[in-house]
């Protein structure tokens, strides 16, 4: 099961999330503390960030190497300076290919998305019903095979329809809950999605308890969302079944439904 980090606030270099903390994303790739399945995250690493001009412009870096083996990322993460970013390390679901098409963050226009979780027996349960919910344009935008990218597609379709990111996330999670109930497939969907001006995240699972997710708010710097605390401090566990919303230094945690 993957580990994720998202940040919105004052500009920082990405190494302050990925490498500098005592329990950085790098450490979580080989020595996570709160994973509910698997023992490490060795199947890839990715990060996404924004450059700011007239409007936020999204960029991604993705690799199928274990994070500790990627010799380019430490240099790049010290160079990139941004106020909004997402990152993750991957523990691939058995049977899923370890290739770039399945590596996060997934991107659509200015949206960047990372997911920690799964849809149980995805190919045998919710795969076809979920794809049937998608219009042709969104359907054709899926390049990989993961349940994660299909969850992102649900969000993208709802976002394209109304332009409201919080609404789109809630709509997608409601669809997942419906499919989980109908096809008796457990769903776990800790996500973080950004558009450069805001981040929406969820801690959600049905019918079981969701994986860990924490929030750290620094009044001067900004908000960090992470699967596990990156450093000692006043990290707030996100309650199960809740949505996290941050814009600038504003933070809301509220029931998902």
The catalytic residue positions are: 2
Burial 49-81 (b: 16+ CB within 10 A, else e): bbeeeeebebeebbbbebbeebeebeeebeebe
User: For residues 209 and 2, is the Cβ–Cβ distance under 8 A?
Assistant: no
Rounded distance between C-alpha atoms, residue 150 and residue 219, angstroms: 35
CA distances from 243 to 9, 198, 200, 202 (A): 18, 13, 7, 4
Rounded distance between C-alpha atoms, residue 252 and residue 69, angstroms: 37
User: For residues 214 and 238, is the Cβ–Cβ distance under 8 A?
Assistant: yes
Rounded distance between C-alpha atoms, residue 94 and residue 7, angstroms: 29
Residue found under tokens 């019903």: 129
CA distances from 117 to 88, 136, 137 (A): 12, 26, 25
Q: How many CB atoms lie within 10 A of CB 12?
A: 18
**Chain centroid to CA 92:** 14
């Amino acid at each position: 099961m993957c580990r994720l980090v998202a940040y919105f606030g004052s500009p920082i270099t990405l190494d302050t999330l990925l490498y500098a903390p005592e329990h950085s994303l790098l450490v979580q790739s080989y020595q996570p503390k709160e994973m509910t399945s698997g023992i490490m995250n060795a199947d890839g690493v990715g990060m996404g960030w924004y450059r700011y001009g007239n409007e936020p412009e999204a960029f991604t870096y993705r690799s199928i190497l274990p994070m500790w083996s990627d010799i380019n990322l430490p240099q790049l993460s010290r160079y990139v300076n941004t106020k909004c970013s997402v990152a993750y390390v991957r523990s691939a679901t058995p049977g899923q290919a370890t290739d770039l098409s399945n590596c996060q963050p997934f991107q659509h226009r200015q949206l960047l998305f990372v997911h920690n979780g799964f849809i149980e027996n995805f190919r045998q349960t919710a795969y076809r019903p979920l794809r049937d919910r998608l219009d042709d344009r969104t359907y054709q935008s899926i390049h990989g095979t993961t349940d994660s990218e299909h969850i992102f597609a649900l969000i993208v379709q709802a976002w394209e329809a109304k332009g409201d990111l919080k609404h789109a996330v809630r709509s997608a999670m409601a669809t997942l809950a419906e499919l989980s109930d109908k096809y008796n497939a457990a769903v776990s969907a800790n996500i973080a999605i950004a558009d450069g001006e805001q981040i929406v995240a969820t801690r959600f699972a049905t019918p079981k308890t969701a994986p860990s997710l924490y929030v750290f708010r620094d009044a001067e710097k900004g908000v960090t969302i992470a699967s596990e605390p990156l450093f000692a401090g006043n990290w707030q566990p996100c309650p199960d079944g809740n949505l996290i919303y941050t814009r600038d230094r504003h933070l809301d945690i509220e029931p998902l439904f």
